[in-house]
Structure 1
Amino acid sequence: MQATTQTRPGDEQRLIARAVDDLARRTRFPVAFGGLFRGGRVTMTAFHGTRTTALEGLAVKPERGLGGRAFTELRPRMANDYRTAQQITHDYDRYILGEGIGTLLAVPVVVDGAARGVLYGASWGQWGIGGVAATPAVQVAEELAAGLRARDEQDRERETIRQEDVSPALTPAHQEELRESYAELRRIAASVDDAAIRSRLEDVERRLAVLSGISHADSGGATTTDVRLSPRETDVLACAALGATNAEIAAQLGLREGTVKAYLGAAMSKLDASTRLAAVAKARRAGILP
């Protein structure tokens, strides 16, 4: 059974599912599973190699069971013979023994000093592997932690953009409608060969940008800049501002995905931004985007 999404589809779930697959591949444990801490428990949401559905619904409390100890102590824990292990509580025997697991390794996922989840490697019989499997398992957990940390940073950037860009003159819904309309006009203009019509569309774009620029000026957020983006760089950044992926932008603008990446990279470089979200924020503050 390959890793599958059980709850909360999205970036976090894709990260945990990939980590579970990686753990099984790199440690050679036949069974792997894991989950993130939410609502006071680490709920298992991704599974690899299970023979039954016994592990589904497993939600581990801190300090309880092998995973709870690993979570609380911020270090890996192993039970070579889970059934007789005395150093752990056996709150979750019906799940673990229900799958027929004999050897169990639990590795915490630690982000900025705090546990965020647990990854497990397991076998159906006793498997005396010790640190041979623990070391790559820890590496997988560290890579997952790095992914979660990057996702947290993106969330913080989005929140910063949201707070900076809320206009006193426009409701958030109207502000978003303005941005979607601007991006749509950019897409239409890019597909028009008639220079006169394209010029008229560009005039409407400028009027939309002015409308947004007034609100920024009123809130004290406007800045001056010497940055000049090319039309295509602006097109790509306008789509990225709406959350479109490179593949989606390529489809919308009739470009290759690699070309989109190049335009986006050039815009980020000109705006001195390390991420696309930071580039969007700087472009809005500079009046390049609404």
Structure 2
Amino acid sequence: MGASLPHRAPAPDHTGAGVRAVVDALDGDPGDAQALDHAVAELVRRTRFPVAFGGLALGDAIHVTSIHGARTRNLQGLVVEASRGLGGRALVEKRPRLALDYGSSRSITHDYDRAVLGEGIATLFAVPVMVGGRARGVIYCGSWAESPVGDVVARPAFAVAEELSSELRIRDEVQRRLTLSPTRAAPAAMPATTREELRETYAELRSIAAIIDDPALRARLDRLEQRLAALSHDASEPAVELDVRLSPREIDVLACAALGSTNAEIAATLDLKEGTVKSYLQSAMAKLDASTRHAAVVTARRAGILP
């Protein structure tokens, strides 16, 4: 039968997903569809369901673009209309929906039996992806035999949906901020408020990325930081070339200092001791041949180390 489940999942750690979303959005990756595909793959990996699929909402329909674990091609190209089928109900009701025995469920329409039953799915679980109070899509996981769905199964699915929601929300915000600057090719013409917002975004990104262990993601992040620095550089200030290299932590601390944060505030942001922050600042200032933190920030910006 069809059923709804209470969304009791705890707030997951979005750090890795959030940083990946920012990096993907600014680094020219495919975007939302790639984030969705990653989430669908995670459903198969984290839950006991062997098949998972999902789609983002376009207009009043879910367009399934990602499928993992399927044994047939029946789910390919599936478009689920609002209120129709299990996913259409999850989309409209903005809550998870469950069909323990999909074929005999009386609480949903059976518009998509050819696709779902054609794949051999017996139990199907649909979770909406909520962003800002709006269902941006639906992710599904299913099994080929009738299977009970309790918290052990549902919680990982909820967590994946939350992580995808976080990625989409961050991606939307990144695109919004980029839109604020209509002259990306002409940094000198960038409004001061936009430049400061980019600098705040950069500092926040650094503070989050400080605890990311994924080497590939960090490498992409390094390239992104260089792009942000170039994007917000003021062409009226002469660039300088420095034969020094700041450590990642020195850059993290300096990026926060550039926003006017005190040592105590930087320590709280980066989860460091205040004495450690002071040590990183002094090291960065020495490398940049600067007598004050303000001078260090100015030099780092002119050298393209900071935006």
Report TM bin, short chain.
0.5 to 0.7
Give the 3 Å change call, closer, same or farther, for CA 64–263 of structure 1 in structure 2. farther
| Aligned counterpart, 2:178 | 158
Question: Does residue 115 in structure 1 map to residue 135 in structure 2?
Answer: yes
1:271 aligns with 2:258: yes
Structure having the larger proportion of residues in helix: 1
Match status 1:124 vs 2:150 = no
Distance in 2 between residues matched to 1:48 and 1:19, nearest whole Å: 10
Following superposition, the deviation at residue 44 of structure 1 comes to 1.1
Once residues 120 and 127 of structure 2 are traced to their aligned partners in structure 1, the CA distance between those partners, rounded to angstroms, is: 20
Paired position in structure 1 for 2:33: 13
- How far, CA to CA, are the matches of 2:150 and 2:224 in structure 1? 50
1:98 counterpart SS class: coil
**Structure 1 pair 238–48 and aligned structure 2 pair: CA distance change class (3 A):** closer
Question: Normalised by the size of structure 1, how large is the TM-score?
Answer: 0.60
Deviation, 1:13, is 2.1
**Structure 1 position 90, deviation (Å):** 0.9
Larger-gyration structure (1/2) = 1
**Inter-partner Cα distance in structure 2 for 1:84 and 1:90:** 9
The alignment partner of 1:127 has SS state of coil
Amino acid at match of 2:228: A
8 Å contact from structure 1 (residues 236, 263) kept in 2: no
**Superposed counterparts of 1:1-290, under 5 Å:** 10-160=30-180, 162-163=181-182, 166=183, 175=186, 212=188, 215=189, 238-241=226-229, 261-262=248-249, 265-266=252-253, 268-272=255-259
For 1:223 and 1:147, the matched residues in 2 are separated by: 24
Q: Distance in 2 between matches of 1:222 and 1:104?
A: 46
Gap regions ≥5 residues in structure 1: 1-7, 167-171, 180-211, 228-234, 244-254, 275-282
Indicate how the Cα distance of structure 1 residues 71 and 242 shifts in structure 2: closer, same or farther if over 3 A, else same: farther
Residues 221/137 of structure 1: CA separation in 2 closer, same or farther (3 Å cut): closer
Moved more, 133-142 or 123-132: 123-132
Whole-angstrom distance in 2 between the partners of 1:141 and 1:221 = 34
**Structure 1 residues 47 and 128, CA, compared in 2 at 3 Å: closer, same or farther?**
same
Matches of 2:64 and 2:179 in 1, distance apart?
28
Tell me: CA distance 1:80–1:157, structure 2 relative to 1, closer, same or farther (3 Å): same
Quickly say closer, same or farther: Cα 1:156–1:132, change in 2 above 3 A.
same
Residues 271 and 40 of structure 1: is their aligned pair in 2 closer, same or farther, counting only changes over 3 Å?
farther
How far is 1:78 from its partner?
0.7
Instruction: Return closer, same or farther for 1:9/1:90 CA change in 2, 3 Å cut-off.
Output: farther
Residue 57 of structure 1, CA deviation: 0.2
Deviation (angstroms), 1:50: 0.5
Between 1 and 2, higher relative CO (CA 8 Å, sep ≥ 6) is seen in 2
Q: Give the Å deviation of 1:267.
A: 5.3
Q: Deviations over 1:29-65 (max 9, x none)?
A: 0111111112432111111111011101011111110
Give the superposition deviation at 1:129.
Answer: 2.7
Q: Give 1:250's aligned residue.
A: none
Distance 1:101 1:236, change over 3 A: closer
Structure 1 residues 23 and 242, CA, compared in 2 at 3 Å: closer, same or farther? farther
**For residue 140 of structure 1, what is the amino acid of its counterpart?**
V
- Distance 1:29-1:242 versus aligned 2 partners, 3 A rule: farther
Q: 1:221 to 1:119 in 2, by over 3 A?
A: closer
Cα distance in 2 between the residues matched to 1:14 and 1:221:
32
Shift of 1:21: 1.7
Q: Normalization by structure 2: what TM-score?
A: 0.57
The aligned length equals 205
